Amino acid sequence: MRIGVYPGTFDPVTRGHIDIIERSAALFDRLIVGVSTQEGKVALFDREERIGFIRESVKAIDNIEVRPLDGLLVRFAEEIGARTIVRGLRGGTDFDYELTMNIMNRQMAPEVDTLFLMSSPRWMGVSSSLIREIARHGGDVRPYVIECVEGALTEKRDGTEKGRS
Ligand code: COA
């Protein structure tokens, strides 16, 4: 059984992530989406919410499982029997970041390889932080996230505005 792992913080999941998830699910018998907490980043959505959004996004695809990821990614990969980490690349900045992570991951676990998928051109400019920012200022994020994420971003914004008044 070919198992792949697609890790990230997904705060929140975007259509750019969903594009990578759908394309990689077609390459493996099982794809595990590992939802991490990121050191140094304060998440807008707690992990249960982030997991819920991804499950909703991929509910039509039955070889995908969404799980919390704690500790080292390579240990998580070993525990779930995954030999391949999937990462999306949007451009040069992603490449530099991925290169160093890949070097370290390969040194810690040479048997776990990383597969890079180029982001589809439509989603190249999308990132979770830009989506959060656009939503915070009342911009339309519907092209970039699924409906329940858009609703949750609006709720957060309304909650913050109420808190200020
Ligand atoms: N479409 C849209 N956005 C994308 C994207 C895509 N295809 N691919 C990446 N992004 C964006 C994310 O939205 C996020 O944006 P933001 O920074 O504006 O919020 C950014 O790119 C990076 O996010 P992500 O891909 O989720 O990675 P990450 O940096 O949050 O998480 C882990 C990286 C989880 C893989 C890494 O921290 C990890 O492995 N953690 C476990 C601990 C460990 O093993 N550490 C040692 C590593 S050597």
Judge residue 28's burial from the number of C-beta atoms within 10 Å of its C-beta, 0-12 exposed, 13-18 middle, 19 or more buried. buried
The domain spans of the chain are 3-121
Q: Which atom of ligand 1 is nearest to the CA of 20?
A: 7
Q: Which sign does the torsion angle of CA 44, 33, 55, 129 carry?
A: positive
Measured distance CA(108)–CA(51) in Å, rounded:
27
Residue 137: closest CA among 125, 154, 151, 159 = 154
Distances (CA, A) of 96 to 17, 44, 46, 101: 19, 26, 28, 9
For the question of residue 156 being annotated catalytic, the response is no
CATH of domain 3-121: 3.40.50.620
What is the DSSP code (8-state) at residue 120?
P
pLDDT one-digit tens code per residue, 126-161: 999 999 999 999 999 999 999 999 999 999 998 877
pLDDT one-digit tens code per residue, 88-119: 999 888 999 999 999 999 999 999 999 999 99
Residue 30 has pLDDT above 80, yes or no: yes
| Residue 57 in contact with ligand 1 by CB distance below 6 A | no
Angle between the 73-80 and 92-108 helix axes, to the nearest 10 degrees?
A: 60
Q: Give, for 87, the enclosing helix (H) or strand (E).
A: strand 84-89
Residue to mutate (ligand 1; options 73, 94, 99; most atoms within 8 A of CB): 73
Predicted TM-score (pTM) of this structure: 0.94
